[in-house]
Amino acid sequence: MTLGPEFLSRSVAPSRRCTGGFPLFCNQCGGKIADGSVFCNLCGARQGVVVPAQGAAPGVPQAQAPAPGYPAQAPAAPAAAAAPPPLPMDFKCNSCGAPMKPGAGLALVVCEYCGAVTTMGSAGAQVFQKHFLLDSRISNEQALEAGGKWLNKGLLRRKVAERSELGNVILRYVPYWIIPTSVVADFQGTKGTGAGMAVHGTTGTQKAKGFAALALNVAAAAAAANQRNQGRNVTVNQPQVVRVRDRIQLQYNIPVVGVRGYTKYQPDDGFQFQLQNKMSFDKRHTGGVEVMSGDVSEAEAKAQAGAFAHKFAEREAKKRVDTLESIQAYPTAYDGELLHAPVWFMEYSHKGKQMFILVDSHSGTVMDGERPAVALW
């Protein structure tokens, strides 16, 4: 279809300035003028000069050209980014009204009078409602006894506790974020030798079964090698290697320590507090023991819980295979609660090396710690 002269004449408005072979029109009277004219040859009005557009500064809106007959508009001022309100450094506890002066960088502030926890964030200072406590149930002597038994546990450790020098022993109420976390993991690998359960089993029974299977396989291989060395042809039943492709679904209440400078208080082997015994926080139940504030927010704790869940899923997969070839874990962390747990922190020195032990003062069990791998003398 060919565009005729009628269509072209209708498509060009007589009041529009045009370029590229079309006639120009005066800004003042609308009459036709020659292309490139500075003054109108009909009314004498000076024609506008088009200035090439320049790049606008980032974040600054570009001024638009005014319509003919209207005054030019001043460009709008750039909108300033809304700065978050500064965190209060001097305020009153919303629970009891006592004065509070949090230190810089704290995310959890414990009132010295009533023990209420105030969270510090972009929304300001707010009392955290889901705040719980575990009471302390063991003494200093009981904590030392539990730590000593843990030090001596194992066939290759002999009288480690008796040959160690005890250092500081301190009881503190340490803040932990308890983050409910679920993880789904798809993995694949091979099994057949029993090495996976022997190395990664979490109970004595699991490890015993794994070591028994591993010992039988090693003994069979050694007997076959001995027979071959004597020139005999023997047939030995080799362990059947089975390929495993499976999925793990796990649920945890992962404790994440709420103080950055206390990474040693972070149990990383799947330790769980006895949450069924928790009670609403009341400072009168602490017995005057120091209650620590924290500087880890709930959002940070969720991220750490996801990383721990990935680690726990990998450890569980290694129990089910002897060789883990691949694993894909998908953790999900949910809103948690804050728990102040009583923890005995014990320092000791063994053959000049400084180590530590953490004992949960509620259950009387060792949470985590350091000990020599071998100590026979």
For the stretch 296-315, pLDDT in tens is 888 999 999 999 999 999 99
Residue 254 near residue 272, CB atoms below 8 Å = no
The pLDDT of residue 147 is 93
Q: Is the pLDDT of residue 69 over 90?
A: no
> Domain ranges in the chain?
91-129, 132-188+249-314+324-369
Please report which helix (H) or strand (E) contains residue 340, including its range.
strand 337-350
The pLDDT of residue 15 is 40
The pLDDT of residue 335 is 92
What is the spatial distance between Cα 115 and Cα 138, in angstroms, rounded to a whole number? 22
Q: Is the pLDDT of residue 368 over 80?
A: yes
What is the spatial distance between Cα 216 and Cα 200, in angstroms, rounded to a whole number? 18
Q: Is the pLDDT of residue 189 over 50?
A: yes
What is the spatial distance between Cα 36 and Cα 48, in angstroms, rounded to a whole number? 11
User: Strand pairing of 108-110 and 117-121?
Assistant: antiparallel
Residue 274 near residue 134, CB atoms below 8 Å = yes
Least trusted range by pLDDT, from 68-77, 122-131, 355-364: 68-77
- Max mean pLDDT among 120-124, 232-236, 300-304 falls in 300-304
The pLDDT of residue 319 is 87
The alpha carbons of the chain give a radius of gyration, in whole angstroms, of 38
> 180: exposed, middle or buried (C-beta count within 10 Å: 0-12, 13-18, 19+)?
middle
pLDDT more than 90, % of the chain: 36
The pLDDT of residue 47 is 67
The pLDDT of residue 206 is 53
What is the spatial distance between Cα 224 and Cα 237, in angstroms, rounded to a whole number? 10
